[in-house]
Amino acid sequence: MALNPYEIRRDFPLLVKRRIVYLDNAATSQKPRQVIEAMAKFYEEKYANIHRGLHVLSREASEAYEEAHEVVAKFIDAKSWREIVFVKNTTEAINLVAYSWGLRELRKGDEVVVTIMEHHSNLLPWVAIAKLKGAKLRIVELGEDYTLNYEQLEESISERTRVVAVTHVSNVLGTLNDVKRIAKLAHEVDAICLVDGAQSVPHMPVNVREIGCDFLAFSGHKMLGPTGIGVLYGREELLSEMEPFLYGGDMVREVRYAGGAVRPSWNELPWKFEAGTPNIVGGVGLAEAVRYLERIGMDEVRRHEVELTQYALKRLRELNGVEVYGPSKVEKRGGVIAFNLRGLDPHSVAALLDERGIAVRSGFHCAQPLHEYLGLVEGTVRASFYIYNTREDVDALINALGKILMLVEGRASEIVGD
């Protein structure tokens, strides 16, 4: 069944109660009542701390939390729920790999390959670890039409490469990278491949076994789930070899004291990497968000966003005074559009749109090196779409931009092109 955004909107209390055109989905998504109710029900009926508790509430809470790992594992086709580590967000997931794997495995002279379009979360951890270990960071730039320069990528990957860390979909340009090809290139030199899936997992089918990546990181709050819960997928053999990132309760099997020494042994996967009391209700909410998306079908989610993005790009081209950034072919991009208006800085545009009930993002979008590389020293305005957005939302954006341009240029007849 085709995705119907008008029906879907009824599941989102905020969109029902408030007259707002929400186009800031790359930052975070709205939450359906099914997720809100699942979390409330857990608090009301099953809440307790997980693991080790012998009472019924603890057992029920543990079962719900463990089931959430299974739901996520199936969603991305992981081999086992042992490969699913719950973290706070994409940022923590990438830092976990950087510190737990990179800090111990990288050596002086090794190289880490990233791209110029990385979010700071997939750039700064590798900058830090490379500096600590004496490794070198190699940055792959763009080729034609805002796509990755694959020729430069192949030249950058060598026998010295230990890590290739790449975004699946750029949170600025919307560029959809061929991560399957990138993972293959990494493995040809025995390097690991980490994929930042923050902008892909919520919006399209993502299959880790098909991609062949070693790690995949994504956030719950960008895919209808709550904040404070994210996911690191890692191949079981790699996770088993890695040391923990955080230390404390639940991540340890036992701690023995003998001869004046403390000797810990780590818990089994994935608990080895989930120290302390986790965001239990966040896991429950994320699982319900996954179920909601599965009922729609990720192929339908992708189809809807492609159609909406194509329509938005067409409408934006009707406006004189708007510059759009990102691949021209919609099949090579996600549902993210970055643009600027002639004569106005991005923050002014966002503020003027907000006055008209339209929520967008402005600035560097945690990707300042990319903006500087493109010469966009003040940043960009970003509109991003999801399952509840409609053509009317796009029309509202275009009409508002047209009026803003009229105010700036004072020439209404030249705003709309032929």
Tokens linked to 208: 């880790």
Cβ pair 238, 46 in contact under 8 A: no
Residue 94 in 3-state DSSP?
helix
Q: Is the dihedral of CA 20, 25, 28, 29 positive or negative?
A: positive
Pull the structure tokens for residue 416.
């709309």
Nearest CA to 146 among 343, 410, 332?
Answer: 332
Q: Helix 56-75 and helix 280-296: axis angle, to 10°? A: 40
Q: What are residue 381's DSSP bridge partners? A: 339, 362
Tokens of 312: 């938005």
Query: Catalytic one among 20, 57, 296, 366?
Result: 366
Q: Distance from CA of residue 201 to its chain's centroid?
A: 7
Q: Which two tokens stand for residue 373?
A: 């590389």
Q: How far apart are the first and last CA of the chain?
A: 37
Cα separation of 135 and 161, whole Å? Answer: 10
What is the DSSP pairing of strand 136-140 with strand 111-115? Answer: parallel
* Cα 131 to Cα 309: distance, rounded to the nearest angstrom: 40
Please give the Cα distance from 154 to 150 (Å, whole number).
6
Active site residue 193: no
CA 96 to CA 225: how far, in whole Å?
A: 21
CA distances from 353 to 19, 155, 232, 389 (A): 13, 43, 36, 17
Q: Which residues are tagged catalytic?
A: 366
